[in-house]
């Protein structure tokens, strides 16, 4: 994942989806615009659910030369030909993931609202740091990443950042100058036409 001049789209799957339907929907979205990476982010704790989803979505993504990473499951990433892993525990698992998956794999780390965790994950070998939520949410503590954190990161740290969680057209317009990727997920999947919903969000990114 290279650092772009304008923010690119980092697509996050829904936490639950029908495997008989979703790969086709994902394919239409990938065909509609340029996507940097797809993240398989299932809520299920069933290994078979992850295996079947990983195999199906890998084919959809790789047919279009788009990288596919998976939340947390390092072994599944290695065994099923995925491009890497997205870790949810800040810096804690980064070194282990890098050692197991090798230097060419994508290793990302979600660091919530913490600059310190982001820097620690970067020092441990992460390829990108994800911050969120950037928008309003009733989940967890409701704490949001402030603009100043993303602005500081973009000015001081070379490691790419992903802004995710509660994105709106207004937030995308505001945050575009201070992030490398927008992590887009439920914002489009809960719409009748996800590809059109994504185009609406993309239109808010100011021209470079």
Q: pLDDT of 103-138, one tens digit each?
A: 999 999 999 999 999 999 999 999 999 999 999 875
- 7 pLDDT higher than 60: yes
Q: What is the pLDDT of residue 177?
A: 96
- 1 pLDDT higher than 80: no
Average pLDDT, the chain: 95
CB 125 within 8 A of CB 100: no
CATH code of the region 8-202:
3.20.20.70
**Where are the domains positioned within the chain?**
8-202
Q: How far is CA 11 from the centre of its chain?
A: 6
| 99 burial level (CB within 10 Å; 0-12, 13-18, 19+) | exposed
- 48 pLDDT higher than 50: yes
Q: What is the pLDDT of residue 139?
A: 59
Instruction: Give residue-wise pLDDT tens across range 157-203.
Output: 999 999 999 999 999 999 999 999 999 999 999 999 999 999 999 99
Cα distances (angstroms) measured from residue 99 to each of 70, 118, 126? 17, 19, 11
Rounded distance, CA 206 to CA 175, Å?
10
């Amino acid at each position: 994942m290279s650092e772009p001049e304008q923010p690119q789209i980092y697509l996050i799957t829904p936490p639950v989806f029908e495997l008989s339907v979703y790969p086709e929907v994902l394919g239409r979205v990938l065909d509609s615009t340029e996507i940097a990476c797809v993240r398989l982010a299932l809520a299920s704790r069933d290994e078979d659910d992850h295996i079947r989803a990983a195999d199906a979505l890998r084919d959809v993504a790789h047919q279009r030369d788009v990288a596919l990473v998976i939340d947390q499951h390092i072994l599944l990433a290695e065994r099923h030909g995925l491009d890497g892993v997205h870790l949810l525990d800040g810096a804690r698992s980064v070194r282990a993931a890098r050692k197991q998956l090798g230097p060419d794999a994508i290793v990302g780390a979600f660091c919530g609202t913490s600059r310190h965790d982001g820097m620690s994950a970067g020092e441990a070998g992460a390829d990108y740091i994800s911050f969120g939520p950037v928008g309003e949410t009733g989940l967890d503590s409701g704490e949001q990443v402030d603009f100043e954190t993303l602005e500081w990161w973009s000015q001081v740290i070379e490691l790419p950042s992903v802004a995710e969680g509660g994105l709106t057209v207004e937030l995308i317009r505001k945050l575009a100058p201070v992030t490398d990727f927008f992590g887009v997920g439920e914002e489009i999947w809960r719409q009748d036409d996800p590809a059109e919903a994504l185009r609406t969000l993309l239109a808010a990114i100011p021209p470079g």
